[in-house]
Amino acid sequence: MNIILLSGGSGKRLWPLSNEIRSKQFLKLFKNEKGEHESMVQRVYRQLRTVDSDCTVTIATSKTQVSSIRNQLDEKVGISVEPCRRDTFPAIALATAYLHDVNKISKNETVVVLPVDPYVQDEYFEMLKMLGKQAASGEANIVLMGIEPTYPSEKYGYIIPSDTSEISMVKTFKEKPDQETAKKYIAHGALWNGGVFAYKIGYLLDTAEKLLGTSDYAELFSNYENLPKISFDYAVVEKEKKIQVMRFAGKWIDLGSWNTLTDTMSEKIIGDAIEDDMCENVHIINELDVPILAMGLKDVVISASPDGILVSDKDQSGHLKKYVEQMNREAMFAEKSWGAFKVIDTSSNSMTIKVTIKAGDSMNYHSHEHRDEVWVIVNGEGRTIVDGMEQKVQAGDVITMKAGCRHTIFAITALEIIEVQLGKEITINDKQKFPLE
pLDDT in tens, the chain (437 residues): 899 999 976 668 889 988 777 788 888 989 888 888 999 999 999 999 999 988 999 999 988 888 889 889 988 899 999 998 889 999 999 999 999 999 999 999 999 999 998 899 889 999 999 999 999 999 999 999 999 998 888 888 999 999 989 999 999 998 888 889 999 999 889 999 999 999 999 999 999 999 999 999 999 999 999 999 999 999 999 899 999 999 999 889 888 789 889 988 889 999 999 999 999 999 999 999 899 999 999 999 999 998 899 999 999 988 888 898 888 777 788 888 888 898 888 888 999 999 999 999 999 999 999 999 999 999 999 999 999 999 999 999 999 999 999 999 999 999 999 999 999 888 888 999 999 86
CATH number of 2-254: 3.90.550.10
Given this model, what pLDDT does residue 65 score? 86
Contact indicator for 26, 41 with CB cutoff of 8 Å: yes
According to CATH, where is 2.60.120.10 located in the chain? 338-434
Q: Which CATH number fits domain 338-434: 3.40.50.970, 3.40.50.300, 2.60.120.10, 2.60.40.2140?
A: 2.60.120.10
Contact indicator for 393, 380 with CB cutoff of 8 Å: no
Torsion sign, CA atoms 146, 147, 150, 153: negative
Contact indicator for 231, 113 with CB cutoff of 8 Å: no
- pTM of the predicted structure, to 2 decimals: 0.82
How far is it, in rounded angstroms, from Cα 379 to Cα 394? 7
Assign residue 254 a region: left if phi > 0, alpha if psi is -120 to 50, beta otherwise?
A: beta
Given this model, what pLDDT does residue 427 score? 86
Given this model, what pLDDT does residue 94 score? 97
**CA geometry: angle at 66 spanning 430 and 352, to 5°?**
40
Q: How distant, in Å, are the alpha carbons of 263, 295, 313, 436 from that of 274?
A: 19, 9, 18, 49
Q: Is 207 helix (H, G, I), strand (E, B) or coil?
A: helix
Given this model, what pLDDT does residue 302 score? 97
How far is it, in rounded angstroms, from Cα 82 to Cα 367? 27
Given this model, what pLDDT does residue 10 score? 62
Within 319-427, residue ranges assigned H as helices are 321-324
Given this model, what pLDDT does residue 47 score? 92
According to CATH, where is 3.90.550.10 located in the chain? 2-254
Q: What phi and psi values does residue 142 have, to the nearest 5 degrees? A: -135, 135
> Strand 118-120 relative to strand 56-62: parallel, antiparallel, unpaired?
unpaired
How far is it, in rounded angstroms, from Cα 72 to Cα 436? 28
Given this model, what pLDDT does residue 436 score? 84
